[in-house]
Structure formats: structure tokens, C-alpha cells
Amino acid sequence: MAALGVDEVILSSSHKVLEKEKGTPQHGVDILVIDDDVEISKLLVRIFQTEDYSVKVALSSEEGLRLIRELSPRLILLDIMLGQSSGWSICEALKKDSEYESFKHLNIIMFSVSRAQKDAEMARTYQVKDFIHKPFEIHDLLKRVERWVKKT
């Protein structure tokens, strides 16, 4: 599955390309969105591009892990439910990775429709920086992203 970027969103099911406005990010921040929901991914790309963030999107946990290793993004917005996998499996894979020390600087914000207490406990276990419930408010999302991006 191809990564979605600042200039285009590739729809995995049809491989159609949705053109995006091109521009140089002023923040200099790479945000990696890992979510298997194409519509939410497209929305997040638009939101972050409007704020001049550079954004990549992975639609699966496998693609997400590959891009984390390749890009070492400053912020990861990670959905808990990823089809056959989960955002927690990505956190676990990073923790077990022999190069984990190089990934400890990552700021991970989990997001989900789930409001289960176990998710909050898991977030602490993996040192997740923040947790956003879906549906989310755009203003709140941007404030949280800016908060953690400034800390890196």
C-alpha cells in the first residue's frame, strides 16, 4: 500500500489520486497519520496542510511501521483500530525493536471512538503523549498537535 503525502492522497481501494494544494511546509514538521479509514485520512491531510504541516498517511499498520522507520516523524497520529491489526500492535512492535531507543523521541497521539478505560491504561504503558476521542473537534486536534510538536 502506498503512502499518502502532502501532494496527493492515494485511495488504496481504487488507486485514484486526489490532487492537493502544493506548498512548502512552514512548520518543518512531519506528521504521520496511521488510520485505515480513507475518508478520515483525507480529512486529516486537509486539516494539517491548511496549517502548513507536512503530512504522510499510512492506511495499515505494516505501512505505518515502515514509514515510522523511514521518516522518523516528529508526531504520529495513530488510530487504535486498524482493520485486522491495532495501533497498540505498532506501539508493541516499536517497543520490541532493537532500534527502539531511536524511536523514544516520537510523540504519539492515539485516537479512537473507544472510551474504554483499558485504552487509557495502555496509552500510559506505551508512553503515548495524548488520546483523542472520535469524533474530534478540529480546533482541539490542532491545539494538541501543536502542543506536542513544540516539545520536540
Q: Domains of the chain (ranges plus CATH)?
A: 8-150 (3.40.50.2300)
What is the reported pLDDT for 151? 55
Partners of 34 in the beta sheet? 58, 78
Residue 141 binned pLDDT confidence (cut-offs 50, 70, 90)? very high
Residue 20 is predicted with a pLDDT of 37
CA dihedral 112, 151, 48, 42 (to 10 degrees): -30
Q: pTM here?
A: 0.78
pLDDT score of 15: 27
pLDDT at 17 over 70: no
Environment class of 68 (CB within 10 Å of its CB; exposed 0-12, middle 13-18, buried 19+): buried
Stronger pLDDT, 120 or 15, i.e. the higher one:
120
pLDDT of residue 57: 96
Nearest C-alpha neighbor of 33 from the set 68, 70, 7? 68
Whether residue 27 is predicted with pLDDT greater than 60 in this model: the reply is no
- Over the stretch 106-119, which tens digit does the pLDDT of each residue have? 899 999 887 777 88
Strands 85-86 and 81-82: what pairing?
Answer: antiparallel
How much is the pLDDT for 80? 92
Give the C-alpha separation, 73 to 55, whole Å: 9
pLDDT for position 26: 42
Q: Retrieve residue 111's grid coordinates.
A: 485516537
Residues 59-87 have a mean pLDDT of 91
* Cell matching residue 14: 481504487
Give me the phi and psi of 63, to 5 degrees please: -65, -40
